[in-house]
Structure 1
Amino acid sequence: MKLCFFGSSLVSSYWNGAATYYRGLLKALAELGHEITFYEPDAFERQAHRDMADPDWARVVVYPGTADGWKRALEDAARQADVLVKASNIGVFDAELDEALSDIRSPALRIYWDVDAPATLEEMAATPQHHLHRVIPRYDLVLTYGGGRPVIDGYRAVGARDCIPIYNALDPHTHFPVQPSQTFAADLGFLGNRMPDREARVDTFFLETATLLPDKAFVIAGSGWDDKAMPPNVRRIGHLGTGLHNTFFCSTLATLNINRASMARYGYSPPTRIFEAAGAGACLITDRWPGIEDFLEPDREVLVAASAAEVARHVADLTPARAEQLATRARHRILADHTYAHRARDVDRLLNGRLGKRETIGTTGKFGKIEAAE
């Protein structure tokens, strides 16, 4: 089927944490025979910071970041689509696209795909006049890249016909073990952009840990950290293209995952970094959030911490042999249960069922049956 997807960017990860999610899932759907067209705006200098050429498994349409640009792109998509997708947080004309795609005259299945569902639901709860209150009920389906039962219930409460999480995963052809580099060598590494609802947690779980362990080396990569005050044992890398992510993950004794605040509150929202770092063979330490055990087993496949003191204790106690043991188990688990091939098969069954019946149905996946909305 023809799937037309409006998202932030497929070809650039610059200020675009969802890039590898889009790539992994849409590539896997293309391998199942779906025809993918990805529409992205020319905005935020992403085209100047491409880290991927147009892939052979998708047609990429870069439209001007203007009112006329998105309207022409949507007209193009509506003429051909079997499935029309509007992702959250494109960054320009989001509200306009949300409205227009939800109400477009087309036989296509219309999907709102939220790549930051906990934050979206909290924003809607705080803003009674938010446009999504009237828009969400018009979509045929809401998909999210995490959130579990709290997100499902939250979206149904605001009128979604149905909500189904499609979790992040690993593309083993993109993230895999490589040789380490002294450029990124450290005892603990963190890769993530500076975001308002994550910065305080980075302060706690990463920078406070560095203060507690002055004899250990720390490295932080991602955009926005240049003017952030940091302990002297923290080295900044700046924006890191996806082509260097494997090397980054393989060069530190351990990699730290830090969820954004809303994702930690809702739980069941493993970021892409969890799967990508494990796929590259990294030893993972993560902040604590509900549902981690559904993806990786604590103390056997991942180390879990509820405070800087606990992160510091993990780092202080970690030996290369223990780190390798944890990393190997995590990679095996991810490859067995959490690749984008797994996720794409779930989406493929879902789309075929919806297009075949055009009625609200449930789906059965790895995390149990999700009942249809009434």
Structure 2
Amino acid sequence: MKFVYFTHSLTSCWNHGNAHFLRGVLRELQSGGHEVAVYEPKGAWSLANLLADHGEQGLQPFHEAYPELASTMFDETSGFERTLADADVVIVHEWNEPWVVAAIGDLRRRSGRFLLFFHDTHHRAVSDPQAIRRLDLSRYDAVLAFGATLVDAYRREGWGNRAFVWHEAADIRLFRPPAEEGHRRGLVWIGNWGDGERTAELETFLLRPAKAAGVGLDVYGVRYPVPALAMLAGYAARYRGWLPNPRVPSVFAQ
């Protein structure tokens, strides 16, 4: 079968957690004998930020870990007819512009040759349902949502048994224990700044306990503003910046 996936970015995991799961799923499909094709928009926010911070070298960890994966860029001048002419399954991630969601749905209406799924890994179906209602999903066969609460929200909107839970998970080809356990030290936390939505939790359940226990703490992630960096420094936590996802297992192993 041929699977076509429209993502925000395959190549960049800069503040883009879905990339981790997507890469593993696509590689598993390939290993099962399926053909995969990936499309991402030109100028994607995640990729633009990665290149701005780290240049082309920032892409090296992805290419080293996933040499079999590649993506094709598209924009509003791109036509999807040839792209989807021989597709069996098409999945459109919610982090795409509404025109992309609508255009692919229209192709599904006109051709009817492929199964079309909407992949939702965000909370806005619950927190901002109007944002989802503004998307034209009328030609989509089903919704793949990353949790039961989201599925319930879609079912309330009339999707019934066409809404399914698809939990995100770790790529076990990449995330596995080291062959030999080495020296381990301190504590590590990997996560991006959440626009203040979890500041209190980080301070209560991570920073204070680590300092009280005298455990060295390394923090990885992006979008930490000056006040957040000051808070980390106040708890003697070391801020390490962006960590490419393929290098997470080696950091955890330490």
Q: Same fold (TM over 0.5)?
A: yes
1:207-266 CA distances to partner (integer Å, 9 max, x unpaired)? 34345x162322110112252122332111100112321122122xxxxxxxxxxxxxxx
The 1:226–1:122 alpha-carbon spacing in structure 2 relative to 1, beyond 3 Å, is closer
Aligned counterpart, 1:36: 36
Q: Which residue of 1 aligns with 2:62?
A: 52
Alignment deviations for residues 305-325 of structure 1 (CA, whole Å, 9 cap, x no partner):
xxxxxxxxxxxxxxxxxxxxx
Spell out, residue by residue over 1:73-104, the C-alpha distance to the aligned partner (whole angstroms, 9 max, x if none). x34422231112110224xxx22112222222
Counterpart in the other structure of 1:142:
143
2:72 pairs with one of 61, 64, 68: 61
Percent of paired sites with the same residue: 24
**Match of 2:85, SS?**
helix
What does 1:179-258 align with in structure 2 at a 5 Å threshold? 185-186=185-186, 188-196=187-195, 197-210=197-210, 213=212, 215-225=214-224, 227=226, 228=228, 229-230=231-232, 231-251=234-254
Deviations for 1:146-178, whole angstroms, at most 9, x for unmatched residues? Answer: 212x22221111232511112223333211223
> Structure 2 vs 1, CA of residues 135 and 205 (structure 1 numbering), >3 Å: closer, same or farther?
farther
CA distance in structure 1 between the aligned counterparts of 2:157 and 2:94, rounded to whole angstroms: 16
Residue 52 of structure 1 aligns to which amino acid in structure 2?
F
Contact 1:226–1:238 (CA under 8 A) maintained in structure 2: no
Aligned residue number for residue 114 of structure 1: 120
Q: Which residue in 2 is equivalent to 1:291?
A: none
Tell me: CA distance 1:136–1:28, structure 2 relative to 1, closer, same or farther (3 Å): same
User: What secondary structure is seen at the aligned counterpart in 2 of 1:38?
Assistant: strand
Q: CA 1:35 to 1:143, structure 2 compared with 1: closer, same or farther past 3 Å?
A: same
Unaligned ranges ≥5, structure 2: none
Q: Distance in 2 between matches of 1:154 and 1:204?
A: 31
- CA distance in structure 2 between the aligned counterparts of 1:225 and 1:75, rounded to whole angstroms: 41
Contact preservation (8 Å) 1:83, 1:109:
yes
Q: Which runs of 5+ in 1 are unaligned?
A: 252-374
Q: Per the alignment, do residues 131 and 123 of structure 1 end up closer, same or farther by CA in structure 2, a change over 3 Å counting? A: closer
The answer to whether the 8 Å contact 1:180/1:248 transfers is no
2:120–2:143 Cα contact (<8 Å) kept: yes
How far 1:26 moved relative to its partner? 1.4
TM-score norm. by structure 2 comes to 0.79
Matched residue type, 1:80? D
| 1:152 partner amino acid | V
SS, match of residue 101 in structure 1: helix
- Partner residue of 1:103? 106
Distance 2:141 2:201 in 1: 36
Q: 1:30 to 1:199 in 2, by over 3 A?
A: farther
AA aligned opposite 1:97: V
AA partner of residue 135 (structure 1): D
Instruction: Tell me the residue number matched to 2:159.
Output: 160
Question: Alignment length, in residue pairs?
Answer: 232
Q: Residue 199 of structure 1: CA displacement?
A: 4.2
Match of 1:238, as an amino acid?
Answer: G
What is the Cα deviation at residue 5 of structure 1? Answer: 0.3
Report whether the alignment pairs 1:171 with 2:182: no
CA deviation map 1:178-230 (0-9, x unaligned): 35577xx42x321011123444543443234345x162322110112252122
SS in 2 for 1:103: helix
- The structure showing larger relative contact order (alpha-carbon pairs under 8 Å, at least 6 residues apart) is 2
